[in-house]
Amino acid sequence: MMQLFLFVIHALSKKPIVIVPSHFGSRLYMNTTNQPFWYCPKSEYNKHAWIRLRDIPSPFLTCLLNHLTVDIDESTNELKTQENTSFSTLDFGGVEGILGIGPEYFGRYLPVNYELYIETFLDLQYEPHKSLFSAPYDWRFGLEQPESYFIKLQRLIESAYELNSENKVAVLAHGLGASLTHIFLTENTTEEWRKKYIDSATYISPMWSGSGQALFATWKLKFPFIHIKFDSLTKFVASMGAFHATIPNSIAYANSTLLVGPDGRNYTGAELLDVIRKHGKLDSKQLKIAEKNFKYTNTLPKQPDFHLNIIYNSGVKTPMGIKLKDWNDKGMPIYGRGDSLVGSKVIEWACDYWGTEGVRLRCHDAFSDDIHYHHRYLLKNAEIVTLIKKWIVDENYDDVAPRKPKKIFAFQNEL
- What's the per-residue H, E or C state across 272-311? HHHHHHHHCCCCHHHHHHHHHHHHHHHCCCCCCCCCEEEE
Contacts of 376 (CB under 8 A, 6+ apart): 341
Number of residues in the chain: 415
Return the closest-CA partner of residue 184 out of 199, 171, 196, 175.
171
pLDDT at 412: 39
Confidence band, pLDDT 50/70/90 cuts, at residue 108: low
| Cis status, amide bond into 204, omega within 30 of 0 | no
Separation of alpha carbons 189 and 329, rounded Å = 44
- Can you tell me the mean pLDDT for 120-135? 98
Q: Mean pLDDT score of the chain, rounded to an integer?
A: 90
So what's the pLDDT on residue 399? 55
Say how many C-beta atoms besides its own lie within 10 A of residue 217's C-beta.
23
| Banded pLDDT at 345 (limits 50, 70, 90) | very high
pLDDT digits (tens, 9 = 90+) for 2-46: 444 344 444 457 999 999 999 888 999 999 999 999 999 999 999
Q: How many contiguous H segments (helices) and E segments (strands) does the chain have?
A: 13, 17
Give the model's pLDDT for residue 190.
Answer: 98
pLDDT at position 376 is 86
What are residue 20's DSSP bridge partners?
173
* Mean local confidence (pLDDT), 229-234: 90
Q: Are 197 and 237 in contact (CB under 8 A)?
A: no
Candidates 211, 207, 236; CA nearest to 222 is 236
> What is the pTM (predicted TM-score) of this model?
0.92
Q: What percent of the chain has pLDDT over 90?
A: 78
Residue-wise pLDDT for 183-203, tens only, equals 999 999 999 999 999 999 999
What is the mean predicted confidence (pLDDT) over 246-250? 98
pLDDT tier for residue 101 given thresholds of 50, 70 and 90? confident
Q: Hey, where are the domains in the chain?
A: 17-210+300-413
Q: What is the mean pLDDT of residues 232-261?
A: 97
**Percent of the chain clearing pLDDT 70 (strictly above):** 88
Non-local CB neighbours of 36 within 8 Å, separated by 6+ positions: 62, 63, 66, 67, 82
Lowest mean pLDDT among 47-51, 119-123, 220-224: 47-51
- Cα 157 to Cα 46, 143, 178, 229, 291: the distances in Å are 27, 19, 16, 41, 30
Lowest mean pLDDT: which of 148-162, 218-232, 273-287, 371-385? 218-232
User: What does the pLDDT look like over 284-337, one tens digit per residue?
Assistant: 999 999 999 999 999 999 999 999 999 999 999 999 999 999 998 889 999 999
Q: Would you place residue 406 in the very low, low, confident or very high pLDDT band (cuts 50, 70, 90)? A: very low
Task: Tell me if 287 sits within 8 A of 277, measured CB to CB.
Answer: yes
pLDDT surpassing 50 at residue 92 = yes
CATH architecture assigned to 17-210+300-413 = 3-Layer(aba) Sandwich (3.40)
Cα separation, 132 vs 141, whole angstroms? 25
Closest CA to 412 of 344, 340, 318: 318
3-state secondary structure at position 23: coil
Which of 182, 188, 209 minimizes the C-alpha distance to 346? 209
**What is the identity of the amino acid at 235?**
K
Binned at pLDDT 50, 70 and 90, residue 171 comes out as very high
Q: Is pLDDT of 106 > 90?
A: no
CA distance 269 to 263: 17
CA distance 91 to 89: 7
Task: Name the more confident of 411 and 243.
Answer: 243
Quick: pLDDT tens for 350-403: 999 998 889 999 999 999 999 999 998 998 899 999 999 999 998 655 655 434
pLDDT band at 409 (very low <50, low <70, confident <90, very high): very low
- 410 pLDDT more than 50: no
Closest CA to 139 of 225, 37, 246: 246
pLDDT at 398: 60
